[in-house]
Amino acid sequence: MQRLIDAFINSVRAFRKLAAHEKAFQQELMLLALALPAGWFVSVSWRGYGLLIGAVLLLIMVEVLNTGIEAACDAFSREFNVDIQLAKDCGSLAVLISVVIVAGVWGIALIERVTGFPI
């Protein structure tokens, strides 16, 4: 049980640090705050609502992992290194793919809501 408590404390510490200092994380938290009520009106079912919010949470999760990759790379070396650049670029690409997923899920939900036809 102590391991779970320690993991929770570590997670809260990371959340506070990211919320205080990482602009992308702050923006995604604002997106989540907007998505929670907006998703209620956009979705046509509870399952759809879960998918809309889950997509935003996926984006936040990928952003957290990207920030961890960047922090680990910066702790290793701040000098230019091709391998470190690739690691950071791959993390950035993962965030971009997550953004595309969020846009696609929300776009489909909006089309479904406006037209009344399930896609």
Is 106 inside a domain boundary? yes
Q: Is 89 annotated as a binding residue?
A: yes
CA 69/CA 19 separation, integer angstroms: 17
Q: What is the pLDDT along the chain (119 residues), one digit of tens a residue?
A: 999 999 999 999 999 999 999 999 999 999 999 999 999 999 999 999 999 999 999 999 999 999 999 999 999 998 999 999 999 999 999 999 999 999 999 999 999 999 988 77
According to DSSP, residue 43 is labeled -
Is 16 inside a domain boundary? no
Active site (catalytic) residues: 63
Number of domains in the chain: 1
Is 11 inside a domain boundary? no
Q: Is 25 annotated as a binding residue?
A: yes
Packing angle of the helix pair 23-42, 2-21 (nearest 10 deg): 100
> Whole-prediction pTM value?
0.92
Is 51 inside a domain boundary? yes
Q: Is 3 annotated as a binding residue?
A: yes
Is 39 inside a domain boundary? yes
CA 109/CA 54 separation, integer angstroms: 13
Q: Is 28 annotated as a binding residue?
A: yes
Domain hosting 90: range is 23-115
Residue 72 maps to which CATH number?
A: 1.10.287.3610
Is 12 inside a domain boundary? no
Is 13 inside a domain boundary? no
Is 4 inside a domain boundary? no
